[in-house]
């Protein structure tokens, strides 16, 4: 078994050589005794390459040190079967100098860099490199020493990040959400214990929606609730807003009409992170709230038509809000693609979808426009599948939190008097609260 692993390691090193990595000899410190195997290869550069590795319980770390190029670390995860996962990590020497955590380069109390990165020679190479069981030591030309725990390097490598998600989520359609039986949190316990707050935030992060029950139906209590989680994001609609179908603002939300699924404030450069709804009163019919997991729909697009997903993530477009009603004069423009993904791991983090507020499409060249509409149609088809629609009737006392970067909302038309209050939350502060409670956010 070990022999196979070593052979694989040998071939990965040889592949690197073929791509131009040269060196002298490979010392198999821990396995030498077992296999008395050492790999020699040609060296063209006078700089030497050495490789050392250490066996840990479930993985093997090896470091290939090249003073001519960069540092390469092999991380081999040993699985019970013959198979094992292996990751090659590469670190640029400027990067290694820049991330030095010595007392003169880094303030470990404030977690801030002291080193002036611009003072680092872009062609810097270490004078010497030494590796012991767990730590790498670099001595730089000016004599400064940087030490790195191998574990720290592995954890903070690009290759490691590529395989991780920033935000773990459970994507849902109506059935999946109902089956999950996500519990609501009680207002009083929510205010009193951080355990309840944590439970609430955990569900909110996983599903993109969450409910709090038994909230006294007033704007003040809704505000108190919101403030327990984060800072309220004041916008052109105010800090706490309160609305009925009174046409007081130049937006369809202030009517009795049905509203198709959408995310709010797509016309802000940074759309509001979280939307809070509390229905204080409704004497009439209709007016149910529609919720659709935009990331679930986007994932369906990715599976069915990956090139359309890619187009929606690449093409920037504008959304716009023009208002001239009474005293309210606003003109907002937000630019960005419908699907926003992190480039290094392709993780979706923000969907901007509002067909009402989408502005003139003039940021897309002629030869792309039609393909963009096709991709937009595919996404819309997924978003409109009845099985993806979760319908809820908001009642006084039950407050709904929506991740406005992920979950679309809409409403059924209604009759009678209906009063809704709520606010937007600052996303950074919601995530801050979650992290401080020990959640992955």
Ligand X SMILES: O=C(O)CCC(=O)C(=O)O
Q: By CB under 6 A, is residue 17 in contact with ligand M3L?
A: no
8-state DSSP, 182: P
Out of 196, 251, 293, 403, which residue is the one contacting ligand M3L (CB under 6 A)?
Answer: 251
How far is residue 38's CA from residue 41's CA, in Å, rounded to a whole number? 10
Q: Which of Fe ion, ligand X, ligand M3L, none does 411 bind, CB closer than 5 to 8 A by kind?
A: ligand X
How far is residue 418's CA from residue 369's CA, in Å, rounded to a whole number? 40
How far is residue 323's CA from residue 257's CA, in Å, rounded to a whole number? 18
Out of 173, 202, 222, 289, which residue is the one contacting ligand X (CB under 6 A)?
Answer: 289
Q: By CB under 6 A, is residue 400 in contact with ligand X?
A: no
Binding-site size, ligand M3L (CB under 6 A) = 11
Which residues contact residue 404 at a Cβ distance below 8 angstroms, ignoring those fewer than 6 apart?
263, 264, 265, 271, 272, 273, 274, 275, 424
User: Tokens in use for 284?
Assistant: 């009439």
Count CB neighbours of 132 within 10 A.
11
Is the CB of residue 331 less than 8 Å from the CB of residue 321?
Answer: yes
Q: H or E stretch including 353? A: none
Instruction: Show the binding pattern over residues 239-268: x = contacts ligand X (CB under 6 A), - = does not.
Output: --------------x-----x----x----
Least Å distance, CB 316 to ligand X, is 23
Which residue, 76 or 319, is less far from ligand X as judged by CB? 319
Is the CB of residue 312 less than 8 Å from the CB of residue 375?
Answer: yes
How far is residue 189's CA from residue 167's CA, in Å, rounded to a whole number? 26
Instruction: Show the binding pattern over residues 335-364: x = contacts ligand M3L (CB under 6 A), - = does not.
Output: -------------------x-xx-------
Q: By CB under 5 A, is residue 264 in contact with Fe ion?
A: yes
Least Å distance, CB 329 to ligand M3L, is 16
In the complex, residue closest to Fe ion by CB: 264
Q: By CB under 6 A, is residue 264 in contact with ligand M3L?
A: yes
How far is residue 380's CA from residue 388's CA, in Å, rounded to a whole number? 12
Q: By CB under 6 A, is residue 242 in contact with ligand M3L?
A: no
Q: Which of ligand M3L, ligand X, Fe ion, none does 376 bind, CB closer than 5 to 8 A by kind?
A: none
User: Tokens in use for 285?
Assistant: 């019919």
Residues that bind ligand M3L (CB under 6 A): 237, 241, 243, 251, 253, 262, 264-265, 354, 356-357
List residues binding ligand X (CB under 6 A).
253, 259, 264, 289, 409, 411, 420
């Amino acid at each position: 078994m070990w022999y196979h692993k070593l052979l694989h390691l040998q071939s990965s090193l040889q592949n690197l050589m073929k791509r131009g990595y040269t060196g002298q000899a490979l010392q198999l410190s821990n396995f030498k005794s077992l296999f008395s195997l050492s790999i020699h290869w040609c060296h063209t550069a006078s700089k030497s390459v050495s490789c050392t590795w250490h066996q840990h319980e479930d993985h093997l770390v090896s470091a290939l040190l090249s003073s001519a190029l960069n540092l390469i670390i092999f991380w081999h995860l040993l699985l019970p079967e013959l198979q094992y996962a292996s990751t090659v990590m590469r670190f640029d020497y400027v990067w290694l100098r820049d991330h030095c955590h010595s007392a003169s380069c880094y303030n470990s109390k404030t977690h801030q860099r002291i080193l002036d990165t611009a003072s680092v020679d872009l062609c810097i190479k270490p004078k010497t490199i030494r590796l012991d069981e767990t730590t790498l030591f670099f001595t730089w030309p000016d004599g400064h020493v940087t030490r790195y725990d191998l574990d720290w390097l592995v954890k903070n490598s690009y290759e490691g990040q590529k395989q991780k998600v920033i935000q773990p989520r459970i994507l849902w359609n109506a059935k999946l959400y109902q089956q999950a039986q996500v519990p609501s949190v009680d207002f009083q316990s929510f205010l009193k214990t951080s355990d309840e707050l944590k439970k609430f935030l955990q569900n909110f992060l996983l599903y993109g929606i969450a409910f709090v029950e038994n909230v006294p139906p007033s704007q003040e209590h809704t505000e108190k609730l919101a403030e327990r989680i984060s800072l309220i994001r004041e916008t052109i609609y105010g800090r706490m807003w309160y609305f009925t179908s009174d046409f007081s603002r130049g937006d369809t939300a202030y009517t009795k009409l049905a509203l198709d699924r959408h995310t709010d404030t797509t016309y802000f450069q940074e759309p509001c992170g979280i939307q809070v709804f509390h229905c204080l009163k409704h004497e009439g019919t209709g007016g149910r709230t529609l919720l659709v997991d935009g990331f679930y729909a986007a994932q369906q697009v990715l599976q069915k038509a990956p090139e359309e997903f890619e187009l929606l993530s690449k093409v920037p477009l504008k959304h716009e809000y023009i208002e001239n009603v009474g005293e309210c004069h606003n003109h907002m423009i937000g630019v960005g693609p419908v699907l926003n993904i992190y480039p290094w791991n392709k993780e979706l983090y923000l969907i901007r979808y509002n067909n009402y507020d989408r502005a003139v499409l003039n940021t897309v060249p002629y030869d792309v426009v039609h393909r963009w509409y096709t991709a937009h149609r595919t996404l819309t088809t997924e978003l409109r599948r009845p099985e993806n629609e979760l319908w809820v009737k908001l009642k006084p006392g039950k407050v709904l939190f929506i991740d406005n970067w992920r979950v679309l909302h809409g409403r059924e038309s209604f009759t009678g008097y209906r009063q809704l209050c709520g606010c937007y939350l600052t996303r950074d502060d919601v995530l801050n609260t979650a992290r401080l409670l020990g959640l992955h956010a």
